[in-house]
């Protein structure tokens, strides 16, 4: 299965992100917007693994999750990857690092690497994918996104309370995510 570990965006932030997406949808054309039920902060992306490897991963990260208390998340900055050139991902993330989320991601990486999983070598960058520009992303759409990136009124706040193993399946209109396992923070 194709899967990843993530902290799901919860209320009241989820409603705020939905309002943001609706506003962006009106201003920025040529984007495949993420469905609200798919909004999350990725902790680790596995790619394709089998059920046994998924169980190994969950067993490894469970002690980390069990000692992680719930923590507040503030998503208040929009951006794009890559930072320069034609964007491939439009995102919402924190303007400041969230120490608890970063610690969770780095501890999970360490445990997963020790179990033989390939882990991301780059610095952890918490973000929620809002949408992906389509191939016909015009210069007008790019300019509209650049203007939206300068907004200072974005503020989506929630308390992170769990880590989820999601399975990702391709589907028309974007991938469908299914919760395979949910681990509650301490």
Q: Mind listing the pLDDT tens digit for each residue in 113-164?
A: 999 999 999 999 999 999 999 988 888 998 899 888 887 678 999 999 999 9
State how far the Cα of 182 lies from the Cα of 90, in Å rounded to an integer: 26
Determine whether 150 is exposed, middle or buried from the number of CB atoms within 10 Å of its CB (0-12, 13-18, 19+): exposed
- The beta strand positions in the chain, using DSSP E, are 2-8, 31-33, 40-48, 71-75, 77-81, 89-93, 128-133, 156-160, 162-169, 176-184
Label residue 60 by pLDDT band (50, 70, 90).
Answer: very high
Q: Which residues of 47-81 are buried (b: 16+ CB within 10 A; e: fewer)?
A: eeeeeebbebbbebbeebbeebeebebbbbbbbbe
**Structural domains of the chain in order of their starting residue, each with its CATH number:** 2-184 (3.90.1140.10)
pLDDT in tens, 2-33: 999 999 999 999 999 999 999 999 999 999 99
């Amino acid at each position: 299965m194709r899967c990843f570990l993530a902290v799901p965006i919860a209320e009241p932030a989820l409603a705020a992100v939905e309002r943001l997406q609706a506003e962006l949808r009106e201003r920025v054309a040529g984007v495949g917007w993420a469905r609200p039920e798919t909004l999350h902060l990725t902790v680790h992306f596995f790619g394709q693994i089998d059920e046994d490897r998924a169980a190994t991963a969950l067993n490894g990260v469970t002690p980390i999750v069990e000692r992680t208390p719930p923590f507040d998340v503030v998503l208040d900055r929009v951006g794009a990857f890559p930072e320069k050139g034609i964007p491939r991902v439009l995102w919402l993330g924190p303007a400041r690092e969230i120490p608890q989320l970063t610690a969770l991601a780095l501890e999970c990486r360490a445990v997963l690497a020790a179990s033989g999983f390939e882990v991301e070598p780059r610095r952890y960058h918490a973000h929620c994918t809002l949408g992906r520009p389509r191939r016909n992303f015009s210069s007008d759409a790019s300019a509209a996104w650049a203007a939206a990136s300068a907004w200072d009124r974005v503020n989506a706040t929630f308390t992170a309370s769990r880590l989820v193993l999601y399975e990702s399946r391709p589907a028309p209109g974007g991938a469908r995510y299914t919760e395979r396992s949910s681990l509650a923070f301490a």
